[in-house]
Structure 1
Amino acid sequence: MDIGVAGVGRIGEMHATHLAELDGREAPDKILLFDPVPERAEAVADSLPEHVTAVASFDELLAADGVVIATPTDTHADLVRRAVQAKTPVLCEKPLGPDMPTMTDLVKEIDASGVEVVVGFQRRFDPATVAVRRRLRSGEAGSVYLVRAAIIDHVPPPKEYIPTSGGLFKDCLIHDLDMVPWLIGEPVVEVWASGSVLVDQAFADAGDVDNAVVTLRFASGAHAQLTAGRHQPVGYDCRLEVYASKQTLAVGWDEHAPLVRVEPDPIEPKQPWDSFMQRYKNAYLNELRVFADVIAGRAENPSPARESLNSLRLAEACEESMRNGRPVRLEAQ
């Protein structure tokens, strides 16, 4: 099996490195890299094993058995469309498209084509998060009362990335906007969001915010409180709590949590994560293993394109709520 990687910036290089680490039946025979920046793909390929090579165009990747798309957000829809038209399965970083009209049209094409497109929401491949979902869906944890989630970068992203990121809701918080409804299994009926620029004026210059809070209300009356930010001075911060009628479940409350505890016997964080790539390495590896199995017909797609419409819809509702300063009601889909 040959797999291509389009875009080898920080995310694409990570995917290429992880592909080269895979073993067993999921390990690619060849890994092909393309990047529009001259010589970037060659430099990454030279740092990896011999079965990783650079190619001169995106079209050359489409001859592979599958392609990973890790280019800037505003290029995803076009490249996914080209891959689908070539009948090449895709693993694409989120989101597939920059807005709902673009996404809706693209998902219709994907559905009609029969080509598998896996959306890169890595939490769906994280063992602890999957365990939370299993307990919720089986009834073991009981009915959900409240969910709290935090996602905060250790250091802000590069300034040149900010204008093309899609914004805090579509770039960062979209992971929680995908994960929480996926865990609970019921629709969001109301969204309230607020944001501020507290870290760097560069976010305001790009029409973005660097700190935000979101409240989701679900059809059952359960709520989720989501927080996101671009700077956590101690380390990368990504935690989840689910309060339910039988159990309270938590993910991310371990020695890596970048929290300075100030009780009488204070506990300092021992090994805080530096970044989401370090924190979710196992999830990213699992994502690639599952993608290989999806290509080979050994597994069903756990993160299909149509489901990712919901997270983008919620992200746009967050943006609308923040602009207008009031909750946004959502009709059931």
Structure 2
Amino acid sequence: MERIDVALIGAGRMGQVHGPNAANHPGLRLKYVVDPRPDAAAAMASRWGAQVAELDSALADPGIGGVLICSSTDQHLGHALAAVRAGKAVFCEKPIDLDLDKVRKAEPEFAGARFLLGFNRRFDPHFQALKRRLEAGEAGNLESLQLVNHDPAAPPPGFIPTSGGLFKDFTIHDLDLARWLLGEEPSEVFSSASCLVDPEIGRLGDVDTARTLLKTPTGKLCVISNTRRSGYGYDQRIEAYGSKGMLTAANVHANTVVTLNEQGVDAAPIHPNFAERYRAAYAGQLDHFAQVLHGRATAQAGYADGVAALVLAEACQESVRTGAPVRL
């Protein structure tokens, strides 16, 4: 496979995930690293044989076919617009932006663009297998979903003010996953939330524990369970209930070895964080982006999916504020 040059914008937490995946992919070559922090950019570039560059010069290079946007959330939309206007294929971490009005106003510029949004759960092999079996009718007609997304521990308080809050930063993954599995758009949202994990999160105006109920026009239900602290690892589960049975995607453990003796049962813990749990999903996502870049696939999670998830996230916030369901 011919290797196409790409630029990475952002060498932070998500850049550390996507940059190496791009550098190691047989169809991609990481040519530039762009980051306002010179040391971070230089470290990433040096490790993967890339060059440090300014954004304008990277986008002006006709040899750059794609751009990976892993910058801070408030920069996602601006960087995506710049890359699309330069004619590049774009992979952008979620969310597109925290401001729904800005996202909607920009949407026409993305018509026809090769744009993949970072909803990585769609590329998890366990969740993909569940979806295939669901679509094959193994559980009959889908009636309800239960999604569990529990972080192992709360983020540092300094993260909260710029995160967009629990629903736009965290639950948005589950809202996209629900849309992907339900097969129709939710028409009603009800959320209830509390601050039970860290009082500082509440002082900063956010919540850390929530339950959300989605309802579709045909009556399908989806319950989403979120917390910033599980205390036992990165808890990621799906239960899909149908007219003939159920499908479940359980937690993934560090290994499959189980000890059974007179002391009881001992098994390996579940994965401790998102980077380990979704390692295969992130690799699959970048492989899909490579296929999009090479003209062999159409993006499975596009701009419209980002808009739809953001609409639901804002409905969750409104429901918490009013204590009532929000009809869409």
Please give the TM-score of this superposition, normalised by the length of structure 1: 0.90
The separation in 1 between residues aligned to 2:147 and 2:116, in whole angstroms, is 24
> Could you tell me how far 1:192 is from its partner in structure 2?
0.6
- Asked whether the equivalents of residues 19 and 31 of structure 1 are also in contact (C-alpha less than 8 Å), the reply is no
The separation in 2 between residues aligned to 1:7 and 1:254, in whole angstroms, is 29
Q: 1:242 to 1:74 in 2, by over 3 A?
A: same
- Asked whether the equivalents of residues 116 and 289 of structure 2 are also in contact (C-alpha less than 8 Å), the reply is yes
Q: Residue 118 of structure 1 corresponds to which residue in structure 2?
A: 116
- Asked whether the equivalents of residues 196 and 212 of structure 1 are also in contact (C-alpha less than 8 Å), the reply is yes
Amino acid at match of 1:21: N
Q: Residue 260 of structure 1 corresponds to which residue in structure 2?
A: none
Secondary structure in 2 matching 1:188:
coil
Q: Alpha-carbon deviations, 1:206-234, whole Å to 9, x = none?
A: 32111111011112212111011111212
Q: Residue 258 of structure 2 corresponds to which residue in structure 1?
A: none
> Could you tell me how far 1:268 is from its partner in structure 2?
4.8
Q: Residue 261 of structure 1 corresponds to which residue in structure 2?
A: none
> Could you tell me how far 1:249 is from its partner in structure 2?
1.0
Q: Residue 190 of structure 1 corresponds to which residue in structure 2?
A: 188
1:68 is the counterpart of 2:68: yes
1:323 is the counterpart of 2:326: no
Deviates most, 129-138 or 194-203: 129-138
Runs of 4+ in 1 over 6 A off after TM superposition: none
> Could you tell me how far 1:271 is from its partner in structure 2?
3.1
- Superposition map of 1:93-108 within 5 A: 93-108=93-108
The separation in 1 between residues aligned to 2:265 and 2:187, in whole angstroms, is 40
Equivalent of 2:126, from 125, 128, 131? 128
> Could you tell me how far 1:267 is from its partner in structure 2?
4.5
The separation in 2 between residues aligned to 1:65 and 1:165, in whole angstroms, is 30
The separation in 1 between residues aligned to 2:243 and 2:98, in whole angstroms, is 38
Deviates most, 245-254 or 313-322: 245-254
1:177 is the counterpart of 2:147: no
- Asked whether the equivalents of residues 132 and 183 of structure 1 are also in contact (C-alpha less than 8 Å), the reply is no
The separation in 2 between residues aligned to 1:59 and 1:160, in whole angstroms, is 30
Amino acid at match of 1:322: V
The separation in 1 between residues aligned to 2:266 and 2:324, in whole angstroms, is 39
1:237 is the counterpart of 2:240: no
Aligned length: 316
Q: 1:269 to 1:196 in 2, by over 3 A?
A: farther
Q: Alpha-carbon deviations, 1:129-166, whole Å to 9, x = none?
A: 12222223333331112211111111222332221111
1:13 is the counterpart of 2:16: yes
Q: Residue 84 of structure 2 corresponds to which residue in structure 1?
A: 84
> Could you tell me how far 1:304 is from its partner in structure 2?
1.0
Question: Percent of aligned positions with the same letter in both sequences?
Answer: 38
> Could you tell me how far 1:73 is from its partner in structure 2?
1.1
Q: 1:58 to 1:314 in 2, by over 3 A?
A: same
Q: 1:137 to 1:61 in 2, by over 3 A?
A: farther
> Could you tell me how far 1:254 is from its partner in structure 2?
4.5
> Could you tell me how far 1:265 is from its partner in structure 2?
8.7
Secondary structure in 2 matching 1:171:
helix
Q: Alpha-carbon deviations, 1:52-94, whole Å to 9, x = none?
A: 3322x12233232111111111111111111111111111011
Deviates most, 185-194 or 312-321: 185-194
Equivalent of 2:276, from 256, 278, 287? 278
Amino acid at match of 1:138: A
Please give the TM-score of this superposition, normalised by the length of structure 2: 0.91
Q: Alpha-carbon deviations, 1:142-196, whole Å to 9, x = none?
A: 1112211111111222332221111111111111100111111112121110111
Q: Alpha-carbon deviations, 1:104-148, whole Å to 9, x = none?
A: 11222101xx22110000011111212222223333331112211
The separation in 2 between residues aligned to 1:20 and 1:220, in whole angstroms, is 45
The separation in 2 between residues aligned to 1:266 and 1:108, in whole angstroms, is 60
1:210 is the counterpart of 2:234: no
Q: Alpha-carbon deviations, 1:223-250, whole Å to 9, x = none?
A: 1110111112121111111111223111
> Could you tell me how far 1:266 is from its partner in structure 2?
6.0
Q: Residue 55 of structure 2 corresponds to which residue in structure 1?
A: 58
The separation in 2 between residues aligned to 1:38 and 1:285, in whole angstroms, is 27
Q: Note the aligned Cα RMSD (angstroms).
A: 1.9
- Asked whether the equivalents of residues 72 and 165 of structure 1 are also in contact (C-alpha less than 8 Å), the reply is no
> Could you tell me how far 1:320 is from its partner in structure 2?
0.1
Q: 1:99 to 1:30 in 2, by over 3 A?
A: closer
Q: Residue 41 of structure 1 corresponds to which residue in structure 2?
A: 41
Q: Residue 168 of structure 1 corresponds to which residue in structure 2?
A: 166
Unaligned runs of 5+ in 1: 258-263
The separation in 1 between residues aligned to 2:31 and 2:154, in whole angstroms, is 30
Q: 1:9 to 1:49 in 2, by over 3 A?
A: closer
Unaligned runs of 5+ in 2: 256-261
Secondary structure in 1 matching 2:14:
helix
Q: 1:138 to 1:16 in 2, by over 3 A?
A: same
Q: Alpha-carbon deviations, 1:6-51, whole Å to 9, x = none?
A: 111111111112222323xx2x2333211112321102223x232x
Deviates most, 139-148 or 313-322: 139-148
- Asked whether the equivalents of residues 4 and 33 of structure 1 are also in contact (C-alpha less than 8 Å), the reply is yes
